[in-house]
Amino acid sequence: MTHQELRNCMYHGEFNSFLNRVSAENLDYRILLSEFSNFKPVEKGKPDKSRMQDIEMVLRFFYLLESNFEFSRFGYPTKEQLNSYMRAKKEQEKHREDSSDVYTKSNEELEAAFNKVCHMVRLTFKGNHFKKFSLSKNKTKFSVAFNKAFFDIQMLGFVDYEVTDISGLTDVIYNEFIELCYFNAVMMDNTNEKISERINTWKWLLFDILTDDKLYYINKLNGKVDCFNYNPICLSCSEKVEELHEGYFDVENNAFYHAACYIKDNNASPNIRTWSRFDFSTIEAEIEIFLSYNGKNSNGIKVKAQGVITKKGVIVKSGSGAVINNSSSLGVSSKNKKNELITQGVLVEKDNCLSFSTDYLFNSFSTPAEIILGSSANGKEQWKTSNGTSLKELGF
């Protein structure tokens, strides 16, 4: 019997039935798995060594989501850890009133997250989801096998966002994922010890694509597409680049290559921003920053905010203002964070706007800017020093 078959027997109950139902009923998930032979029915009379693996992958996703996600540390989901997780869920069913708060998400919350990310993976990865790939000469070869490490990376990467956040950006996200895997060795390292580094490397790049540096990545892909459409000849080998994802666009030199040729010619990774989230630990001295706004979201009131860049992140100071109204451009993740701060009493209504009741630490420039402005924003452009210089102009 497979490990999941044993769990199905040992931990039968509400959560186990829930796993089976989610796996069976999610259309996006079934379509994603249909690419792989180990999720297809075996011939009659032959042993099914992958029986219930589809259900185990749902369990794996839920375990990673509940056990580690908020701390961005992902322990490898071993057989024992998955057993322990199911055992804890079964105990919670027995003792609902005094159950442990280690795993706090309801089945409804887990299912909503799973449904959302399955749909986002299907929209983004062009049928090349959950597949490891390699460069062979000038060709990209996608494996036909299901890869658990890529399942973890692609599924967990989207948890922070909603489908609307990636609207119009799926091609950009796909391109950056492929290039990240070309040029960052940890992404292709399937060892257990690298699980957190793999997932977080992608999460940080995805954050930049969807917030601070969205325009950079859009322009980068547009340049690549223009070269591919009008002159898809590799500058190095003078041969045609057959597939867009096999090419690499050198932004600084406005040049187009096979990715394999670029790597070979440069004997190193290119200038690709794989760790582009700002490393606040490099701050040597705290920097005061300011933001002001008097637009359509502010009801005619000039909203002012003050912050400090520290080694831990951006601290928005007590008394800083924020608009009450949000525009349609405000991303779901920032909107949810704003609602959370209101619920916690960190943001309180005062004089027809919101006000920070206490200092609050953020781990990026853009999230506090978006919360304050009530709209999509690049924090590096919105936050300025006392002399009016933006963080972008300062080189952040």
Q: Which pLDDT score is estimated for 270? A: 43
How sure is the predictor about 70, in pLDDT bands with cuts at 50, 70 and 90?
A: very low
Tell me the pLDDT tens digit for each residue of 252-288: 788 899 988 888 877 645 444 434 456 787 888 899 9
Q: Residue 64 above 60 pLDDT?
A: yes
293 and 174 in a common domain: no
Tell me the pLDDT tens digit for each residue of 190-223: 888 788 888 988 988 898 888 767 888 898 999 9
Mean pLDDT across 330-337? 76
Domain end among 252, 277, 302? 277
Q: Alpha-carbon distance 198 to 71, whole Å?
A: 15
Helix (H, G, I), strand (E, B) or coil at 315: strand
pTM of the model: 0.71
Q: Which pLDDT score is estimated for 356? A: 95
Instruction: Name beta bridge partners: 256.
Output: 249
63 and 3 in a common domain: yes
Nearby residues of 238 by Cβ (< 8 Å), 6 or more positions away:
none
Q: Which pLDDT score is estimated for 125? A: 94
Write phi, then psi, for 247 (nearest 5 degrees). -95, 165
What percent of the chain shows pLDDT beyond 90?
49
- Let me know if residue 116 belongs to a domain: no
Distances (CA, A) of 194 to 152, 198, 273, 376: 12, 6, 20, 33
Q: Which pLDDT score is estimated for 45? A: 66
Domain end among 49, 79, 111? 111
362 and 265 in a common domain: no
Which residue range forms the structural domain that includes residue 209? 125-277
Assigned token pair, 66: 């509940």
Tell me the pLDDT tens digit for each residue of 88-102: 898 888 776 555 567
Tell me the pLDDT tens digit for each residue of 104-143: 889 999 999 999 999 999 999 989 999 998 877 778 888 9
Domain end among 220, 249, 277? 277
